Amino acid sequence: MKNLAIIGRILFALPFGVMGVNHFIMKDYFLGIMSSFIPGGAYTILLTGFLLILASILIMLNQFLKTVCFSLAGILFLFIITIHIPGLSTANWQIAFIELLKDTGLMGGAIMIALYSDSLKELSIIKSKRKK
């Protein structure tokens, strides 16, 4: 069961790392879909990419899960309200809708990991004591 939790945590974290790298590689694309009222322009895109990469690494390493996952849920919520919801009124509303659903699901997963992170660590400690 512990191995499945590790695999699940890694599978959850990897896409955030890839998307973080994409923020550096595809900066111009992200600037094009970014709402005009968000300050910072390219700086905001690069900062977001860095935060996504950092979150991905920390989740895979099982470090600061509660803080990282609640922060990640907050970032996803910001994506939803500043990018995806405004995108519903564009010609590509179907893509915005799919992205909205994806980020809503990922936000739910991040909240679940944050809420159960203490329980998972306790289970891990109990199992390691049994092996001794």
Better-scored residue on pLDDT, 21 or 82: 21
Q: Which of 24, 110, 86 is nearest to 95 (CA)?
A: 86
Mean pLDDT of 77-91: 93
pTM value? 0.84
Helix (H, G, I), strand (E, B) or coil at 92: coil
Mean pLDDT of 30-47: 87
The answer to whether residue 121 scores a pLDDT higher than 80 is no
The answer to whether residue 130 scores a pLDDT higher than 90 is no
Q: For the chain, how are helix, strand and coil distributed in percent, rounded to 5?
A: 85, 0, 15
Greatest extent of the chain over all pairs of C-alpha atoms, in Å: 61
Confidence of residue 127 (pLDDT cuts 50, 70, 90): low
